[in-house]
Amino acid sequence: MMLKYGQIMKTKTVLISTSMLFLSIIACQWADFPFAVPNRVIQKTERLSLLWIKEIDILDPHTAGWAYLFTPSNQSVVFWYPSKDSLMALDLVTGETLWETKVPDHGVMRLHNDIFFIPSYQWLDLLEVAPIMNNQVLSDCSWGGAASLLTYDSYTGKQIWGYVYHGVDSHDIYFDDANVYLTGSYDHGASESIVQIDTSSGELINLECNKWPAKKSIPPPPDDDGDDPFLYRVVFDESDLRAGGVLLFFVPEGNRLNILTGGTKEVLGYIDFDGFELNPYHIDLAVQKDIAAIYLNDSKQLLSIRLPISVDQLSPSERIDTCTPCKNE
C-alpha cells in the first residue's frame, strides 16, 4: 500500500550566530558545486529494485558540477563522458556498455526523436562545409567565425551527419518537426542570430541575424528544445511540488530519496543510503518506462532502479497557484 506524502519534508528552526549566518550564505552560493564525498551504500529499498550501481565521473566540466543523462526509447542511458571525449550508452537493465563514440567538446547536447544533436566550436578541420539550400548567399552572422553540428543515432552511437557552418554560432539549440535551429547572442542580447538546418540532411536552409547597433527583428526559435527533462523533477523545496506537468517527483530527505507520483503525490517507493545526506543540487536523473537512471554528482555514482509502475501509466501533476487571492489587476 502506498503512503500519502504528508510530512516527509519537515521544517526545522535553528538559531544561527552571525558567523554561522555568513558561512550559510557562502554555502548557498556553492550549493550546486558537488564537493566529493565517499561512495554511498544502499541500505534499503522500498517497492524499488536496484538493477546496478557504478562509480563513474561524468560531470560536465563546463557547468558547476552537473551531469546530463538521456534515456532513448531502447532502454539505455546515454551520457557524455568528458574524460574520454565520448558519448557512452549503458544498458538500463544490466549496466553493460552498448556503445561508445568520440564526440567534440561542447556546451550543449540535445536528444530529439532518438537522435543526438551536438553543436560545437571544434572539429572544424575534420568536417565538410555544410550544403546550403539553393546555393543561396547568406550573411555572416557569427561572432565565433564558424560552428559545427553533428548528429548521432542513439541506438548505435554512429554518426549520421556532421558539418561545419561558416558564419554561425551555436549557443543553444531548438527544434520543430523537420528543422533544428542554432541560436547565438552577444552584446548583452543586443546582437543575436538564428540558423535553420534540415534535421535529416544537415542542409543549411536559412540564417538571420542582427548585429548591434542595428535593431533588426529576429524571429524567436521554436519552443521545443528536445526531450522534456521536466517530466521528472528533483525537489529542492516543498514549493517545487506545486509544479505542473510532472510525472515523478524525486524528493531527498536526509539519506533517503523518496519517489512520488506526479498526479497524486503518493510515495511510489524510496531508497535509503548511508554516508552523507543527499543534496538535491547533486542529483541528476532520467527515466524510461519503469526504470530510472540516477546520478549522485558528489559521490560520482550512477545507479539504475526499477520502479513498481511504468511512467506510461502515471498522470502528470497539476500546477498549484500559490497567490491567495489571485486578482487580475
Query: Three-state SS string across 141-208, please?
Result: CCCCCEEEEEEEECCCCCEEEEEEEECCCCCEEEECCCEEEEEEEEHHHCEEEEEEEECCCCCEEEEE
Under a CB-based contact definition with an 8 Å cutoff, are residues 255 and 56 in contact?
no
The per-residue pLDDT for 321 is 66
How high is the pLDDT of residue 14? 35
Per residue in 19-42, pLDDT (tens digit) is: 444 334 434 444 555 578 999 999
Of the candidates 319, 281, 318, the residue with the CA atom closest to the CA atom of residue 298 = 281
pLDDT at 134: 79
Domains of the chain, earliest start first = 35-313 (2.40.128.630)
Q: What is the DSSP letter of 56?
A: -
C-alpha cell read off for 108 = 550543449
Query: Pairing relation of β-strands 301-306 and 49-55?
Result: antiparallel
The sign of the dihedral angle between the CA atoms of 14, 17, 23, 28 is positive
Hey, what's the cell of 211?
A: 548585429
pLDDT on residue 32:
52
For residue 43 the three cell numbers come to 541500505
All cell numbers assigned to 117: 544533436
254 vs 42: CA distance, rounded Å:
13
Residue 114 cell numbers, joined: 532518438
Residue numbers in the chain where pLDDT is lower than 50: 1-4, 6-30, 323-329
What's the pLDDT score for residue 270? 98
pTM: 0.83
- What is the model's pLDDT at position 80? 92
